Amino acid sequence: TVKKLASEPAVSPWEVEPAAPDRRILSGPHAETSVYTVRAKVIAYRQSNDSDYHVILADMDDRSSTIIAELAHPDCAVGSVKLDAIAQARRDFLENVGAPSLSEVHFFLAKPIPVELTGVRFFDRIHGQNGVAPNGVELHPVLSVRRLP
């Protein structure tokens, strides 16, 4: 569940790159290797400047427990063995949820949309994101989206 993912101990795959201390690189055994499927409610979304869809998911039973899911733009996934899944997930999101606007502000839904979403567990650094989990966990990239009744 969203609540369970949001309560896991944070595992940081980020390390400072010695040659460029302001830049971080992925490393270690937790660097984007675990795939999770959750049932959740889409409560808000937007398109960010990098063309990713930034989605706030709430736990099915506790709207206050949220995580971020990001649907990567396929151009950012060229060479990935999951490119087809990433592209299909974006198409499915558009069909089942709607097209996000390019915005710094999330569009909050009057009626949340229940979905089953599969994505790669990713611990992002917390930097003021709307909807961020206490441990920084995200599902990024999203590999599938299915609207639930």
HEC string of 51-89 equals CCEEEEEEECCCCCCEEEEEECCHHHHCCCCCHHHHHHH
CB 61 within 8 A of CB 2: no
On average, the pLDDT of the chain sits at: 87
* pTM score of the predicted model: 0.86
Considering the chain, what percentage of its residues have pLDDT values greater than 90? 66
CB 97 within 8 A of CB 42: yes
Kindly state the average pLDDT of the residues 115-141. 90
